[in-house]
Homo-oligomer: A and B are copies of this chain.
């Protein structure tokens, strides 16, 4: 939370500091916040930022990569459900709101495509499991769920912090109603 004190961190340390700073800055000021603010917050020179992340997208991708990894770990657990996934998305959206901007802004970057595919995999696995258990209607497709997740993340991204829990709960109920078998 505190701005890292200035000098003499090592390479990997700086990298981590930059990622953390980017999460915070993007969360606080949006994805189009100046990169210099990220560097400043990380307590690192502008040059170092550019060494580690040659452009804004590189930073974005890396952050989202970490998020996806968390989801993958989670979906590997046998008991995890779509509800859990939505919970995680909500958590992540709260933690680093601007990531959705980021991934949608760079939708065509090849590096982003890879992340999208990983997300697909996660959803597909969960969905199969849920449908087998009869908890999700058969007609629901992976694309439907991805769409729901995207919409949820998007709306959270543009809600005010105090409203988010309420928004999340309400949206969650809505999707639930849409996906549950009749």
Chain A contacts to B: CB under 8 angstroms: 32, 100, 104, 107, 143-144, 147-148, 150-152, 154-155, 158, 160, 167, 170-171, 173-175, 177-179, 182
Contacts and interface: CB of A to CB of B under 8 A. Distances in A.
A154 B107 CA distance: 15
A147 B175 contact: no
B160 A107 contact: yes
Contacts of A175: 174, 178
26 contacts: A104-B158, A107-B158, A107-B160, A144-B170, A144-B173, A144-B174, A147-B155, A147-B167, A147-B170, A147-B171, A147-B174, A150-B155, A150-B158, A151-B154, A151-B171, A154-B154, A154-B155, A154-B158, A174-B175, A174-B178, A175-B178, A177-B177, A177-B178, A177-B179, A178-B178, A182-B182
